[in-house]
Structure 1
Amino acid sequence: MIEKRLKTRSVAGTLALAQNIYELMLPAPRLVILRGDLGAGKTTLVKGIAQAIGASADDVTSPTFTLVQEYRGTKLKLYHLDLYRLEKDEELLSLGIEEMEAEPDALVLVEWGEKFPSLLQRARGQVVIQPGDEPDERWFFVQML
């Protein structure tokens, strides 16, 4: 198991740090849970990971209402899921998470996945984001199997 504790002090720092976190997530395929309160920086982290795979970070938005966003990079495909509005395991079936996980060059990043024990069991890692002492400061606790 890999465990890292990282800190940023700005949005730009989070975007840059995402490259390091992405490298810890390899090799794909991999399902990773992103944990943190609303506004913690989960989507900002995904923007940085999108840049790391060669996709446009400008295209990355929170999938709160669409539930799933897909980004194709030069290195692999990134699926970004937001399960905040879901409540039951049955609702996960329609999203096709198992199919996403099975793709050989796919990284599946799931916000609010900790709400679902079935996803926690399948996850190969998690990134927990917590606020620091300063307004834009964030701590990233990275655990990968």
Structure 2
Amino acid sequence: MKEWTREKRLKTRSVNGTLGLGEMVSEILRSAGKLIILRGDLGAGKTTLVKGIAAALGAATEEDVVSPTFTLVHTFPGRKVTLYHLDVYRLETERELATLGIEEMVEDPNALVIVEWGEKFPSLMEAADAEVILTQGELENERLLHIRWRA
């Protein structure tokens, strides 16, 4: 597997703080590439971060972004980028994953593809341009973000 060559660590202490990091994170991710893996336990703030990223990109309002757990893929056409937000938690095989059309999404020159639970699939991890790992901090609402990408 290709190694991550760059990284950044961020901390937030509230939902609004996580939403606010969306702009900074979106700039990092857009420069890193197209396919982003979001990792973290249930309730870690993955979808909240996507809300902030979508708002920063002008692709959707925070209210429009919900977890795609049951629909698997949400598409948000923005001013500069189309944001694809996927959740592969319920998928179990590479064959199921292939039916989502991630390769086609990544081929879109104006796409940013963010996949929650992508670490379940080695093929996604190998293809990923970046990953964001969200973990619980010491305080109740504190979240730690570890962003890694290939330069």
Residue matched to 2:39 = 35
Residue matched to 1:2 = 6
Distance (whole Å) between structure 1 residues aligned to residue 52 and residue 93 of structure 2: 30
Task: Give the alignment of 1:1-145 within 5 angstroms.
Answer: 1-27=5-31, 30-55=34-59, 56-145=61-150
Q: Structure 2: any 5+ residue segments left out of the alignment?
A: none
Percent sequence identity over matched residues? 58
TM-score by length of 1: 0.97
Distance (whole Å) between structure 1 residues aligned to residue 122 and residue 65 of structure 2: 27
Contact 1:28/1:107 (8 A) holds in 2:
no
- What SS does the corresponding residue of 1:26 show, helix, strand or coil? helix
- Paired residue type of 1:36: G
- Post-superposition offset of 1:80: 0.4
Distance (whole Å) between structure 1 residues aligned to residue 10 and residue 91 of structure 2: 30
Contact 1:77/1:106 (8 A) holds in 2:
yes
Contact 1:5/1:139 (8 A) holds in 2:
yes
Distance (whole Å) between structure 2 residues aligned to residue 31 and residue 86 of structure 1: 18
- Post-superposition offset of 1:2: 2.2
- CA RMSD after TM alignment: 1.0
Stretches of 4+ aligned residues off by more than 2 angstroms: none
- Post-superposition offset of 1:28: 7.5
Q: Deviations over 1:32-83 (max 9, x none)?
A: 0000000000000000000011122211000000000011111200000000
Contact 1:28/1:106 (8 A) holds in 2:
no
Distance (whole Å) between structure 2 residues aligned to residue 26 and residue 93 of structure 1: 24
Distance (whole Å) between structure 1 residues aligned to residue 118 and residue 87 of structure 2: 8
- Paired residue type of 2:64: D
- Paired residue type of 1:137: E
